[in-house]
Amino acid sequence: MRRRLSGGGQRPAARYSALSLLRHGLTGRDWPPAWTHHDLAPSYDVVIIGGGVHGLATAYYLAANHGIRNVAVLEKSYIGGGASGRNTAIIRSNYLTPEGVRFYNRSLTLYQRLAAELNFNVMFEQRGHLTLAHNDASLRTMRWRAEVNKLEGVDSEVIGPAEIKKRAPYLDVSEEPRFPILGALYHPPGGIVRHDAVVWGYARGADAHGVHIHQGTTLLGIDVADGRVRGVATSRGPIATPVVVNCTAGWSSTVAAMAGVELPITTFPLQAAVTEPVKFFLDPVIVSGTLHVYVSQTARGELVLGASVDPYPAYSTRGSLEFTEEVAAHVLELFPSLADLRVLRQWAGLCDMTPDFSPILGKTPVEGFHVDVGWGTYGFKAGPVSGEAMAQLVATGETPAIIKTFDLVRFEDGRLVGEKGAASVGH
Ligand code: PYC
């Protein structure tokens, strides 16, 4: 049975004692819901489309930072069921452009304090991040990134094979591989987070502040009249609202088209896989752009493996044998001793790629219709900063400085923010 949380803005966690946690954990009974079910209200001050990390963070910061609580988050499936639950949860801020570094670093700072802010363990482990260079061109880009990072106060440096070996002893740094490792961009603050926990933490926090989270609610249309948003049509009925924030991934251009806004986005699947768990041996996240692969080890011991986006635009979230074969071959070039490890699962998420590999954030030509989209393969790490900035935009009507450069009109003005060089892998 679903129960309404009492106490208005009271945080649900405050109602647990250590003893009740133990009782719930052992019996599995009577867990109070972390967020509540609501009927659809006829109107909201703000409607957010997409119940992933971006949508829920925006809702949370609207309520927590600006006192705007009459907010609905519409999610057509279950929260975190889209790109937020399908990424490899890598957090880092070692980007290439000063704007990108500043932006992602604010997110990393928010991630560092997120567990305390939400009173929810998001399991952020800052175990370091190594981007390997296998040729002179990559080494040059790593040096470039390291210098931009340092200028922005971000801890990043290029290290050689001996230092790499100390940080990841099982990596093959010998001369033997087809692509020997010449060096790496080492980024100590980088790491991994538990993506479900981030989504659930924001959802619980937003709910405790009075936000309505509507799962199983599909957006059918956006009502625009005289150049401004009036409301939305949903599978559960219409809602009147002056503000709609598009926080979707995969369907961002479809949603924008409902408001008559065209986005320069192409959608590609990005696959990932997880192996059986093994004893802990890998501290940092390892990325190789040349081999198109990234590897991290979870607290449970599984290896999480990822690669480039699929080579064709699609909306499929199915895995492919080509991916498994390629990712396995490339991981084994880096870690030959993993040859007997079994892949347990693979999946795909959808990535909305923009021409410059930077997101699109802010206002659109339709008044009241805002976008937080175009994340390509960088979305999850940007959830907190995007939520914070989009909430500020909605609350004040002013675009915050930290996202100004990522506006939609940059594609008309030719002000691209090229971040392809900071991709985990070549896309
Ligand atoms: O940008 O760190 C990243 C990343 C990892 C997987 C996909 N993108």
Inter-CA distances, 263 with 260, 356, 385, Å: 10, 13, 22
7 has pLDDT over 80 = no
Q: What pTM was estimated for this model as a whole? A: 0.94
Least confident of 22-31, 148-157, 276-285: 22-31
* 311 class by beta-carbon count within 10 Å (0-12 exposed, 13-18 middle, 19+ buried): exposed
Q: Closest residue (by CA) to atom 8 of ligand 1?
A: 377
pLDDT of residue 32: 80
Beta bridge partners of 274: 304, 345
pLDDT of residue 12: 45
4 has pLDDT over 90 = no
317 has pLDDT over 60 = yes
* CB 100 near ligand 1, within 6 Å: no
Residue range 288-315: mean pLDDT, rounded: 96
pLDDT of residue 71: 99
Instruction: Using the atom order of ligand 1, give the atom closest to the CA of residue 91.
Output: 2
Q: Say how far apart CA 244 and CA 309 lie, in whole Å.
A: 29
CA 307–ligand 1 middle distance (angstroms)? 9
**Would you give the distance in Å from CA 267 to the centre of its chain?**
16
pLDDT of residue 9: 38
249 has pLDDT over 50 = yes
Q: Say how far apart CA 188 and CA 97 lie, in whole Å.
A: 19
Instruction: Return the amino acid letter for 297.
Output: Q
Q: Say how far apart CA 156 and CA 230 lie, in whole Å.
A: 47
Q: Closest residue (by CA) to atom 7 of ligand 1?
A: 377
CA 60–ligand 1 middle distance (angstroms)? 24
Token pair listed for 5: 């949380």
Query: Please, where are the H alpha helices in 209-347?
Result: 252-258, 321-334
Residue range 159-186: mean pLDDT, rounded: 97
Give residue 282's pLDDT band: very low, low, confident or very high (50, 70, 90): very high
Residue range 298-308: mean pLDDT, rounded: 96
Torsion of Cα atoms, 414 then 361 then 244 then 6, to 10°: 180
Q: What is the pLDDT of residues 104-133, one digit of tens each?
A: 999 999 999 999 999 999 999 999 999 999
Q: Closest residue (by CA) to atom 3 of ligand 1?
A: 424
pLDDT of residue 25: 82
pLDDT of residue 299: 94
Residue range 306-316: mean pLDDT, rounded: 95
Q: Say how far apart CA 137 and CA 279 lie, in whole Å.
A: 35
pLDDT of residue 6: 29
Helix (H) or strand (E) holding 371: strand 369-373
pLDDT of residue 10: 41
Q: What is the pLDDT of residues 206-215, one digit of tens each?
A: 999 999 999 9
Q: What is the pLDDT of residues 38-93, one digit of tens each?
A: 999 999 999 999 999 999 999 999 999 999 999 999 999 999 999 999 999 999 99
Query: Please, where are the H alpha helices in 259-365?
Result: 321-334
Whether 148 and 101 have beta carbons less than 8 Å apart is answered as yes
Instruction: Return the amino acid letter for 271.
Output: Q
427 has pLDDT over 80 = no
Give residue 11's pLDDT band: very low, low, confident or very high (50, 70, 90): very low
**Would you give the distance in Å from CA 277 to the centre of its chain?**
24
CA 97–ligand 1 middle distance (angstroms)? 16
List the one residue out of 339, 336, 335, 342 whose CA is nearest residue 286. 335
How much of the chain exceeds pLDDT 70, in percent?
A: 96
Instruction: Using the atom order of ligand 1, give the atom closest to the CA of residue 270.
Output: 7
Residue range 359-366: mean pLDDT, rounded: 98
Q: What is the pLDDT of residues 19-45, one digit of tens each?
A: 887 888 888 877 788 899 999 999 999
**β-pairing, 46-49 with 244-246?**
parallel
168 has pLDDT over 50 = yes
Token pair listed for 183: 């060096």
What does the radius of gyration of the chain's CA atoms come to, in whole angstroms?
22
List the one residue out of 301, 299, 307 whose CA is nearest residue 324. 307
152 has pLDDT over 90 = yes
* CB 379 near ligand 1, within 6 Å: no
Give residue 15's pLDDT band: very low, low, confident or very high (50, 70, 90): low
Q: Closest residue (by CA) to atom 4 of ligand 1?
A: 424
